[in-house]
Structure 1
Amino acid sequence: MANKCTSKWRKLPVILTELCIDTTLRCGQSFRWKKLPNNTWSCALHGRIISLKQDSDYLYYTTTWPTASMDLSSTTSSTEESIDENDDTEALLLNYLNLKPSLQAYYEHWSSVDPNFKKRAPTFTGVRILKQDAWEALIGFICSSNNNIIRISQMVGNLCIHYGQLIGHIGDQAFYDFPSPKALSGTSVESHLRVLGFGYRAGYISKTAKIILEIKPEGWLESLHNQEPYGISPSQSQIQACGREGYREAHNQLLQLQGVGPKVADCVCLMGLGWCEAVPIDTHVLKIAQRDYNFDNIKYKTLTKFTYNAIGDHFRKLWGREAGWAHSVLFAADLRVFSKRLSNSKDFLTLSVNEVSEKIVEKRDFEMDESRSKVQDDKASVQVESSKVQKIKRRKFVS
């Protein structure tokens, strides 16, 4: 194991209604956080391992550094002083966890305009949209196509093990940083990922990495970021139901990449680029729209471009500029992993490290027969019974 040094535990005044890490870190936003046996959440970010735990009033964090990155002396006192002097983890966490907006104010606004949100929100407070690295979000959500959270986490874990940099260990658990576009653009990457069980996603990942590295100008992905700062309270300004121009441009640009359809593009816009009006819609969200928001005239489990846009526009019109945040609360509330909360159980389900890690590196023994079960890219327009869809009024907007 590499030598490492660990800071003392520090705390930030964050109450559970403003951030619940047990929900936020396992509701399908980020796929690299691991819950360790000591009841802490840990992840390698920006060349260090960050560990988090929480009580009702504070978020606690500690940082584990490879000693080479800190250039520390051998004495304990000097080590602690050097960590205190050089550790920028607090600033990193404040940004990554997106702690500026008042989540309570957001929830109050959404509850005032949406009875369904008001009914479900009390059990799922503290669901906050992370500010993730755009590149990591892009590749993570390419892996999400026709997938569940555990399998996505396994795939992302394999990417990090085979192509990322080892940062260090906590106990026997290794932590790797997310691989760069260069690391994923090699000639053998696609074939290797297929061996690791990525299926058709292997080609998407390899080709997208090459596009980012060799075709797009440097900084292209970062240039799609929303530059408007988040408000502490929900925005009172009206936006078009189809979202701001910058969001639409970012969304359209992402569609140029391999393996990126409307849903993946919206996931990246929301969780990697800061466009809070992005509402990712998959069959899971379609079910919510059908059950709770009068879209029950759509009888199939698949989406056309028209129905995708109609549902997203409806939620943006209902919830406002931060519609993507509200959507994520209801998405979490509908996940099976949190079903015990809806039964008023205090024993919330937890993704253990073993659930994600035990199959990493190994080839899936349940790999699907692609010739029999090939899944189309989510760019494909799947037919929905036209006579049903026509009941939804088509909206026209001026760009």
Structure 2
Amino acid sequence: MARHIVRGKKQTKAWASIFCTRSQLRLDVTLPAGQSFRWKETAPGHWTGVLAERVWTLTQDENAILYHVYPVVPENGTGSEEKMECGECHLSVVGGNQGCELQCDSRSKPRLRKSNPKARSKAKDVEDMRCIGQEEKGGKLGNEAILKDYLQLGVCVENLHEDWTRKDPHLSQVAAWVSGVRILRQDPLECLFAFICSSNNNLSRITLLVNRLCEAFGRKLLQLDDKSYYSFPCLHRLAGEGVEEKLRGLGFGYRAAYVPGCAREVLARGGIDWLHGLRQTPYREAWTQLCSLAGVGPKVADCVCLMALDKTDAVPIDTHVWQIAQRDYPACRAHGAGKAPSSLTPRMYRFIGDFFRELWGPYAGWAQSVLFTAELKQFKELVEKEQREGKSQRAGEKLKTVRQKKEQDTRAECKKFKPMERCCSKDK
């Protein structure tokens, strides 16, 4: 059985690296903070998850992100490329269900066709190349390009912080001790359905539901130790018959109806191509179209816009952000005085979002993520832990200095006396 990899002296060749300082990205702050729900800390400082139908382990030091991509071994053991059937369509494909796509119209039943990457719009190709960079031979993106795109390493967080601190004194104070927070650039399909699962849920519960969704309808990629990893389901699987009933049995509650309902609506509008095409539409238009889908409200639409559709000025507003706005920004407090977060009206939601967009500028969504992260319980616990470790380290360094000083004083005292000469007398 394969095992989760842990960085060590004997495994240096198993890791590839990308230059990135901790001030630009902290994995322990960004990955578990409620953007993506498929990363888990499998060893101290090591995060394992699924990205682009590949299983990764990420870790970091002060100046680099280190990553390992596991070879996906099919259950039949025939090699890395597995011939299998996609979903319920019985269309054989190589390498899983990523190359299949469902077409629908109102007059006929859904049918599958083989997805042709060259048939994508030229605008989308230009956008993908802008964000990802050059492709390797054969049209497949390399691991480094995938990870750089996912982590959006082309955006300099330190420059953003400098800009925000000039505009917002409160954010300036928070940003001084919250560093390395970034917005991930996620797959629009996975991001959309993950946040449908997030409705009225906490972080641990959302993670549980998303993993159950993948286990029930995704493709098993591999197993590491006692943990199995799955691809995210394709639209056809999510739109299939019996999905709602199965999800209710898995504890999805009222969200069970939204998953197949939304999948069918996305398919009817053009499927994956339509969803990816929203990256080229203006923010407000993309947000409006998402809000018309089953199970998608204003906050879910903003999450997808920010974390998957390149709308950096989208500002998702949930209970945490509402409380921040009421507590720390008088202009928002004046419009929502005495109101509970549950009474957030569409008009108030729009006002708060526009207020932050005007205050913070084109990367308002990234600024909001800094304030949001600072409010999370697990982040506060992390800061307290680092403070304790820092005090312990400083105390250890002080003790070491005292001991070194004592040793130096002892050596200095010894030098004051000549070595004792041994006198030997012979008995006669």
TM-score (norm 2): 0.70
Unaligned runs of 5+ in 1: 73-84, 227-244, 349-399
CA deviation map 1:134-157 (0-9, x unaligned): 011100111111111111000000
Q: Hey, what does 1:308 align to over in structure 2?
A: 349
Q: Where in structure 2 are the equivalents of 1:57-76 lying within 5 Å?
A: 57-67=63-73, 70=80
In structure 2, what is the Cα distance between the partners aligned to 1:12 and 1:326? Answer: 24
Code of the residue aligned with 1:20 in structure 2: it is R
SS of match in other structure, 1:186: coil
Are the equivalent residues in 2 in contact too, given 1:4–1:168 (CA < 8 A)? no
Q: Hey, what does 1:196 align to over in structure 2?
A: 250
Instruction: Determine which of 324, 337, 341 is the counterpart of 1:288.
Output: 324
Q: Where in structure 2 are the equivalents of 1:14-163 lying within 5 Å?
A: 14-37=20-43, 39-67=45-73, 70=80, 88-163=142-217
Cα displacement (A) at 1:170: 2.0
How many pairs are equivalent? 319
CA deviation map 1:320-363 (0-9, x unaligned): 00000000010000011112245474479xxxxxxxxxxxxxxx
Are the equivalent residues in 2 in contact too, given 1:65–1:167 (CA < 8 A)? no
Q: Hey, what does 2:421 align to over in structure 1?
A: none
SS of match in other structure, 1:42: strand
Are the equivalent residues in 1 in contact too, given 2:195–2:303 (CA < 8 A)? yes
Q: Where in structure 2 are the equivalents of 1:173-188 lying within 5 Å?
A: 173-188=227-242
Q: Hey, what does 1:271 align to over in structure 2?
A: 307
Are the equivalent residues in 2 in contact too, given 1:42–1:52 (CA < 8 A)? yes
Does structure 1 residue 317 correspond to structure 2 residue 358? yes
Closer, same or farther: CA 62–247 of 1 in aligned 2, 3 Å: same
Cα displacement (A) at 1:178: 0.8
Q: Which has the higher strand share?
A: 2
Are the equivalent residues in 2 in contact too, given 1:168–1:175 (CA < 8 A)? yes
Q: Which has the larger radius of gyration?
A: 2
Closer, same or farther: CA 145–3 of 1 in aligned 2, 3 Å: closer
In structure 2, what is the Cα distance between the partners aligned to 1:106 and 1:247? Answer: 20
SS of match in other structure, 2:68: strand
SS of match in other structure, 1:220: helix
Cα displacement (A) at 1:216: 3.6
Q: Where in structure 2 are the equivalents of 1:244-255 lying within 5 Å?
A: 246-255=282-291
Code of the residue aligned with 1:250 in structure 2: it is A
Instruction: Determine which of 378, 381, 385 is the counterpart of 1:337.
Output: 378
Are the equivalent residues in 2 in contact too, given 1:127–1:329 (CA < 8 A)? yes
Aligned Cα RMSD in Å? 2.6
Code of the residue aligned with 2:71 in structure 1: it is W
Closer, same or farther: CA 162–218 of 1 in aligned 2, 3 Å: closer
Structure number with greater CO (CA < 8 Å, separation at least 6) is: 1
Question: Which deviates more, 2-11 or 19-28?
Answer: 2-11
Closer, same or farther: CA 286–208 of 1 in aligned 2, 3 Å: same
Q: Which has the higher helix share?
A: 2
Unaligned runs of 5+ in 2: 6-10, 83-137, 390-428
CA deviation map 1:59-118 (0-9, x unaligned): 10011021456469xxxxxxxxxxxx9881111001011100111000111111111111
SS of match in other structure, 2:309: coil
Question: Which deviates more, 212-221 or 323-332?
Answer: 212-221
Cα displacement (A) at 1:127: 0.5
SS of match in other structure, 1:32: coil
Closer, same or farther: CA 38–342 of 1 in aligned 2, 3 Å: closer
Closer, same or farther: CA 87–113 of 1 in aligned 2, 3 Å: closer
Q: Hey, what does 2:367 align to over in structure 1?
A: 326
Segments ≥4 residues shifted beyond 2 Å: 1-7, 67-72, 213-218, 340-348
Cα displacement (A) at 1:211: 1.3
Cα displacement (A) at 1:212: 1.6
Code of the residue aligned with 1:329 in structure 2: it is V
CA deviation map 1:301-324 (0-9, x unaligned): 231111101100110011000000
Q: Hey, what does 1:213 align to over in structure 2?
A: 267
Identical amino acids, percent of aligned pairs? 42
TM-score (norm 1): 0.75
